[in-house]
Amino acid sequence: MSNLGYAQLQGPNADRFSKLGGGKMREAELAIIGAGPAGISSAIEAAKSGVQVVLIDENARPGGQIYRQLADGFAVKNERQMGKDYVEGKKLLEEFEKHRQKIELIENALIWGIFEEKQLMFVRGDNNETLKPQKLILSEGAYDRPMPFPGWTLPGVFTAGGVLRMVKTERVLPGRKILLAGTGPLQLVLANQLAQAGAEVVSIVEAASSATGLKYFHKFWGQWQIMADAWRYLRGVQRAKIPILTSHAIIEARGENGVEEAVYARIDKDWKPIPGTEKAVKVDTISMGYGLISSTRLSRLCGCKHEYKPNLGGWVPYHDENMETDLPGVFVAGDCAGVLGALVAVEEGRLASIKACKELGRITDNEAQSRSSSILRKLRGLRRFEWALSQMFVIPKGGVSRITDDTIVCRCKEITAGEIRESIASGATSMGEIKRFTMAGMGYCQGRICENTIAEILSLATNQSMEAVGFFTPRPPVKPLTMDIFLTETGAEVKGFAH
């Protein structure tokens, strides 16, 4: 191969290659990725400590998924109706505004890679930029856990988070006749929002049994605000006369070009449908709400050690009490470190930031300790409650065995559960082997959607722990991006790439 093409860069298209590799290299004391509850609270604490902080978020404005601000043109008439999260979020965002001058907020920026020495590469507009912070806090959040069933790829099947976003932020209804299927309290929240917005919620299909709630009831003692909220949501569902079917799950979506019918059935404790209990209902929309999976693309790319916590969002980075990972100077906070909700996220964000500020020498050990100790106390109570909640809506390990062989698991490459199982039968014992045997996980989403399901199928079939099964090798780019963003002139000068 020749090396002379580079000379041609002086030609008419030279301007297309004028961007330097990775843009200009900038440095920062602290970088925070994700401006949700955890990221915002981290940034506030850093600003208070006088640390030079950069907060980077994918969206146009801070708030994250849960404190997502309304689009321009919408005004809130009744704050209470927007739910407690809205009120909490507003408080936090107001505090953020107070410190806004001391925080550099980079919006509409997508981190596509983290390289050696915490070097962040991100895309803003058409530009590729680099930031090298001394300390790094990752608050990547979480995303909806997919639960494949036949027909789940039909138009009209949404994740609960997606439906909530449509109703809450975009003010549109996904359909007219809606079945809510899944597990957990978000289903009640969603039913309320949908009913208020004028949709017909046919029923709530809840996989947990009605008995589970009582078992953990005492754990909620003391969390009056949260209990009051739960009561309000339950009352709302009753008022709207929406039936709740416990120990039930969706087993199929039917339709030609979209959802026309949903089939659900009673399930046993392993979530296996009990034959003869199937029931079909006419609906145009199905919401899948099986909880959240921690978003860990960046912590994996960093090379942080991860643990598998099935009830807290699956793979989560290992972290100490102060949210520091096994990599010095890399912290995690919020749902990406275990799905425990916005209130916990806010406190975790504060803790991580205080520790980072201390290590940067901007606050004394004593100050750090006094600021941290009250947060730690508050966190203990919150975590106990959220933990109890997660125990109520736990997904059994055998849950994936109910996924029929003809169900598509990898949507991007249209790989079925049967094909995954066939590859295991032919000797695959690791995620990488399944990927290479079936090409699952090689499409647009890079395994975000299918990885958990495949890992669970593999773990169950080969009797290996999820730790032993592991995950797909993390590689940049974290999300698909157009090539022109990365075009550089200096790229060709890098020695040793071509011979």
Partner 1 sequence: VLKSKGLRIEVDSSKEGDMREKGAEVVVIGAGLAGLACAYFCAKAGLSNVILLEKDGVFSKASGATFGCLAPSFFPVTMPHSKKLGDRGLQTIKNFAAEEDVDLELRTMGLLNLFWTPEKGDEARAKVRQEQDAGYVVSLLEQKELKEVEPELSPQILGAIYKPDQCHLNPLKLAGALYKKGREKGVRVHTFTKIKMCKHKGDQLSAIVTEQGDIETSVVVNAAGPWASEVGKLMGADIPVAPLKGQGIATEPLPEIVRNIVLDLVAVVQDHPGNVIAGGTKEPVGFDTRSTHEAFQFICSQAARLFPKLRKVTVLRTWAGLRAVAPDRLPILGEVPGLKSVYLITGLADTGVLTSVISGKLVAELIAGKSRDPLLDPFSLSRFTGQKS
Min separation Cβ 111 and partner 1, Å? 12
Which residues are CB-neighbours of 144 under 8 A, at least 6 positions away?
Answer: 159, 160, 161, 162, 288, 289, 290, 291, 292, 293
Our finding on whether 80 is near partner 1 (CB under 8 A) is no
Distance set, CA 249 to CA 31, 190, 204 (Å):
42, 17, 10
Contact pattern for partner 1 over residues 4 through 33, marking x by CB under 8 A: xxxxxx-x-x--xx---xx-----------
Q: Please say whether the beta carbons of 478 and 33 come within 8 A.
A: no
Q: Which is nearer to partner 1, 197 or 487 (CB)?
A: 487
DSSP state for residue 86 in the 8-state scheme: H
Our finding on whether 425 is near partner 1 (CB under 8 A) is no
Q: What is the spatial distance between Cα 237 and Cα 188, in angstroms, rounded to a whole number?
A: 7
Among residue numbers 271 through 290, which ones bind partner 1 (CB under 8 A)? Answer: none
Among residue numbers 122 through 181, which ones bind partner 1 (CB under 8 A)? Answer: 128
How many other C-beta atoms lie within 10 A of the C-beta of residue 366?
9
Min separation Cβ 430 and partner 1, Å? 4
Q: Which is nearer to partner 1, 163 or 469 (CB)?
A: 469
Among residue numbers 431 through 450, which ones bind partner 1 (CB under 8 A)? Answer: 432-433, 436-437, 439, 442-444, 446
Distance set, CA 399 to CA 215, 286, 392 (Å):
21, 20, 15
Q: Which is nearer to partner 1, 134 or 429 (CB)?
A: 429
Q: What are phi and psi of 204, to 5 degrees?
A: -105, 120
Q: Please say whether the beta carbons of 315 and 335 come within 8 A.
A: no
DSSP state for residue 3 in the 8-state scheme: S
| Strands 127-138 and 119-124, bridge-based pairing | antiparallel
Our finding on whether 113 is near partner 1 (CB under 8 A) is yes
Only segment of 66-74, 276-284, 380-388, 469-477 that touches partner 1 (CB under 8 A) = 469-477
Using CB under 8 A as the binding criterion, the count of chain residues that bind partner 1 stands at 58
Reading the block at residue 42, the tokens are 């981290």
Min separation Cβ 474 and partner 1, Å? 9
Rg of the chain, C-alpha, whole Å: 24
Contacting residue, 73, 198, 275, 496, with partner 1 by CB under 8 A? 496
Our finding on whether 101 is near partner 1 (CB under 8 A) is no
Only segment of 41-49, 249-257, 269-277, 479-487 that touches partner 1 (CB under 8 A) = 479-487
Our finding on whether 198 is near partner 1 (CB under 8 A) is no
Q: Which is nearer to partner 1, 86 or 122 (CB)?
A: 122
Adjacent-strand bridge partners of 136 = 31, 330
Residue listed under structure tokens 């590859």: 423
| Strands 248-254 and 127-138, bridge-based pairing | unpaired
Among residue numbers 40 through 59, which ones bind partner 1 (CB under 8 A)? Answer: none
Q: Which is nearer to partner 1, 241 or 499 (CB)?
A: 499
Min separation Cβ 455 and partner 1, Å? 13
Q: Please say whether the beta carbons of 442 and 412 come within 8 A.
A: yes
Q: Which is nearer to partner 1, 8 or 196 (CB)?
A: 8
Reading the block at residue 255, the tokens are 């339709």
Distance set, CA 261 to CA 182, 205, 254 (Å):
17, 14, 5
Our finding on whether 318 is near partner 1 (CB under 8 A) is no
Which residues are CB-neighbours of 385 under 8 A, at least 6 positions away?
Answer: 219, 220, 223, 226
Min separation Cβ 496 and partner 1, Å? 6
Interface positions with partner 1 (CB under 8 A): 1-9, 11, 13, 16-17, 21-22, 113, 115-116, 119, 121, 128, 426-430, 432-433, 436-437, 439, 442-444, 446, 464, 468, 470, 473, 475-477, 480-484, 486-489, 491-492, 494, 496-499
